[in-house]
Structure 1
Amino acid sequence: MKILVNAISARMGGIVTYTRNLARSFSERKADATIAVSSRFPADCQGVWRHWASDLRPMTRFVWEQTLWRRTVAEMKPDVLFSSANFGLLSCPVPQVLLVREGGLFDPFYLANCTPAQGMKAALQRKVRRRLILASARCSDRVVTPTAAMRDLLLRWAPDLDGKVVVNSYGTMSDSFAPSPAAMRPWRADGCLRLIYVSVYYPHKQPELVCRAVEGLRAAGMESHATITMDIRETEDFKGGNFDRLIMSQALERGQATLGRRPYESLPALYREHDVFVFPSISETFGHPMVEAMGCGLPVVVADTPVNREVCGDAALYFQPLSVDSLIQCLRRLDQDPELRAALTARGRERVVNFFTWDGHVDRMIDIMGEVAGKR
């Protein structure tokens, strides 16, 4: 089966990690696959086709995809086109599988809480993007979502897609993101509760909530510190990022937080250097860091959303979204109950191994592609 992957818009965050891992897995399986990526894609990723079109503005790139890219696809004649970043070809000349991974456009909680500060221009852009994603879905042979919760959100906007949408859960490298007893940090080993939050910045990620939780714990007499893998300058790229920037700046000045991007390869060791993983994001399609943290043997405390519930099950403590008091209560409960910490850790690792391995995700995706190619 000849596979062509369109990941040209992959520039940052989970889609870059996903595409890098996909390229490696296809290579290991000796799959006949061509993966088109951004010209700014990480240089250490081999076996990909870096394409100049990634530098086009979004709407210009969409027009390019529907014209010149369509011609390229027709000339290459793959058995299946895998459009891995929300948008696909309309009236695709070959069988097409579309991965929809942008949940915020369809999530009423996100739309109510994160979009008012972004202005009318952003509202128009969201409307256009949503319509294009739905049009892409209707023109695809199969639509894939990473969670059932994401599928249900999509079907609320487009019930006619029922029967075309399938769920294929993401997975993590369970061998790399695994407990290491010799390297694991004992709980509050230095008397400090060390929180870790791995993510890139978007307004719905709510990093300020973690900083305010640290401040609240310290005010109550519990020494605490947060490591957040975001660059504070990222907040300048988004309307609505001012409050996050203010709170993170104050946390930095007080020595209560460490900020900055970390290489993907360094993440397993980073998780093991901390006591608890915190995930306050209010809108996800999956949430890779939750699975990575559970895989490494950390207890996790996450915002109570349908996606987070689906991913973490009974292996997490849940706090009320946007509530710093609720988050602090969960952290204090975890600190006071060693048996609970041990139970969450064991359940989390078991859940990752049983449901969220990367190889399982890739195998299912190849099956989906083969089914679509065979039917067309």
Structure 2
Amino acid sequence: MLIGIDASRALRARRTGTERYSLELINALLALESHHRIRLYVPATPQFDLFHSGAELVTLPGRRLWTHARLGPHTRRHPPDVLFVPSHVLPLVGPPRTVVTVHDLGYEHFPHAHPRRERLYLRWSTRRHASVATRIITDSEASKQDLVTMYGADPDRIHVVYPAPDPHLRREPDEGRVQYVRSSYGIPPGADYILHVGTIHPRKNLARLVDAFASLIDRLPERDLHLVLAGGMGYEGEKLRQKVVQMGLSDRVRFPGYVRVHDLAALYTGAACYALPSLNEGFGFPALEAQACEIPLVCARSSSLPEVAGEGALYFDPLDVESLTDALMRVLSDSALAATLVAKGRDNLQRFSWQKAAAETLRVLELAASS
């Protein structure tokens, strides 16, 4: 069987959730012992060590509308047995059998958190997938249920395959390295900090996190407590920065920008806790990253997050600032509770691996190819 994969997202230099998903899953599929051929379609030549050996590379130069203008027509003329698109958008034309990963429908739950053009495009493309894809993969049962209830997708065509955190991400044992990374991201020496990593976007619910942090520092005046909101500026990100200035918190709330991959472990390790207040997540990689780095996780009881974080998190109502403040207060004040959350998080991680995700994805691709 010839498996074609849209590998375009994996080529991006600054990878967030869907880009990391694409790269890790593609490499895990290539590492499987299988008699199938794998062909990767890319818009440009990748760096030599990006993908594991064993794949055929087809370069289709282009940038704008690459999926529809280049990938689709090529795979229509030279069809693989099944085309796999790991990040949302199937080409308008393409081979007869396709599998697509739909990561979430957050734009339906919180439409105001997305620009109108983006929201309309996501709604159109995902509805189309629900009707034309041979099989659909989702990252969670929550996203599967959204597809069924919102778009009427056939549940028998939808397969839940859990992703995994970076297998190399672990607690940083070198205290000197932790201190160096803290300093390079502007965190004062000796300060405790609450960490959030992700694009600064309304769906991440960071405005309520800032409000909760303001209450928290009033409750814990003896602690030099900071909030680190690491990640690129997304839609309406500057509004959050302005809110911080207006609240007089500029010396306590940090926006260090995108975190380099090799700095992640140290940045997580140095944190007093991780706060994940998202209103909607299709999976929520940072929950597992915090657990991998053995820091206590404070997590919203929303969408897929309880499904993913399991018992290794202290949950709160993401629409209730007081609930979030109380959860942070408990974790920062109760070392026994924090240690219990870390231990349960360590146990929770055993449910996830890219090898398992690749094996389950391959079974879905085989089903689609035989349809």
- Name the CA distance, whole Å, in 1 between partners of 2:345 and 2:281: 19
Q: What is the deviation of 1:332?
A: 1.0
Q: Point out the more displaced range, 329-338 or 38-47.
A: 38-47
Deviation track 1:151-177 (CA, whole Å, cap 9, x = no partner) reads 111111222422111111111234x23
Q: Retained in 2: the 8 A contact 1:90–1:135? A: no
Q: Retained in 2: the 8 A contact 1:7–1:36? A: yes
Distance 1:147 1:242, change over 3 A: same
Q: Specify the alignment match of 2:338 in structure 1.
A: 341
Match of 1:34 among 34, 39, 59: 39
Q: Specify the alignment match of 1:207 in structure 2.
A: 206
- RMSD over equivalenced CA pairs, Å: 3.1
Q: Retained in 2: the 8 A contact 1:215–1:256? A: no
Match of 1:72 among 66, 71, 74: 74
Q: Retained in 2: the 8 A contact 1:196–1:277? A: yes
- Unaligned ranges ≥5, structure 2: 179-188
How do 1:317-356 residues align onto structure 2 when only pairs under 5 Å count?
317-353=314-350, 355-356=351-352
- Name the CA distance, whole Å, in 1 between partners of 2:45 and 2:327: 40
Q: Retained in 2: the 8 A contact 1:155–1:161? A: yes
Q: Specify the alignment match of 2:368 in structure 1.
A: 372
Between structures 1 and 2, the one with greater helix share: 1
- TM-score, normalised to structure 2's length? 0.82
Q: What is the deviation of 1:179?
A: 4.0
- Name the CA distance, whole Å, in 2 between partners of 1:17 and 1:249: 33
Q: Match of 2:289, SS? A: helix
Deviation track 1:24-70 (CA, whole Å, cap 9, x = no partner) reads 334434773233345598897357666543x31xxx55652xxx533
How do 1:80-95 residues align onto structure 2 when only pairs under 5 Å count?
80-89=82-91, 92-95=94-97
Deviation track 1:100-154 (CA, whole Å, cap 9, x = no partner) reads 11321332xx23x635xx5xxx0x6523431322212321111010000011111
Distance 1:43 1:103, change over 3 A: farther
Q: Structure 1 residue 144 and structure 2 residue 149: aligned?
A: no
- Name the CA distance, whole Å, in 2 between partners of 1:320 and 1:363: 35
Q: What is the deviation of 1:246?
A: 0.8
- Name the CA distance, whole Å, in 1 between partners of 2:273 and 2:71: 45
Deviation track 1:265-306 (CA, whole Å, cap 9, x = no partner) reads 321222111121111221111011111111221110112203
Q: Specify the alignment match of 1:178 in structure 2.
A: 170
- TM-score, normalised to structure 1's length? 0.81
Identity %: 23
Distance 1:168 1:341, change over 3 A: same
Q: Structure 1 residue 133 and structure 2 residue 126: aligned?
A: yes
Q: Specify the alignment match of 2:353 in structure 1.
A: 357
- Name the CA distance, whole Å, in 2 between partners of 1:253 and 1:156: 43
Q: What is the deviation of 1:369?
A: 1.2
- Unaligned ranges ≥5, structure 1: none
Q: Match of 1:281, SS? A: coil
Deviation track 1:193-219 (CA, whole Å, cap 9, x = no partner) reads 311111123221233333333333223
Q: Match of 1:262, SS? A: coil
Q: Match of 1:163, SS? A: helix
Q: Structure 1 residue 245 and structure 2 residue 241: aligned?
A: yes
Distance 1:346 1:132, change over 3 A: same
Deviation track 1:232-251 (CA, whole Å, cap 9, x = no partner) reads xx24xx2x444313134567
Q: Retained in 1: the 8 A contact 2:230–2:257? A: yes
Q: Retained in 1: the 8 A contact 2:283–2:305? A: yes
Deviation track 1:323-361 (CA, whole Å, cap 9, x = no partner) reads 3332221111112222211111111111111x1222211
Aligned-partner residue type, residue 70 of structure 1: G
Post-superposition, which runs of at least 4 consecutive aligned residues in structure 1 deviate over 6 A?
Answer: 40-44
Q: Structure 1 residue 25 and structure 2 residue 28: aligned?
A: yes
Q: Specify the alignment match of 1:4 in structure 2.
A: 4
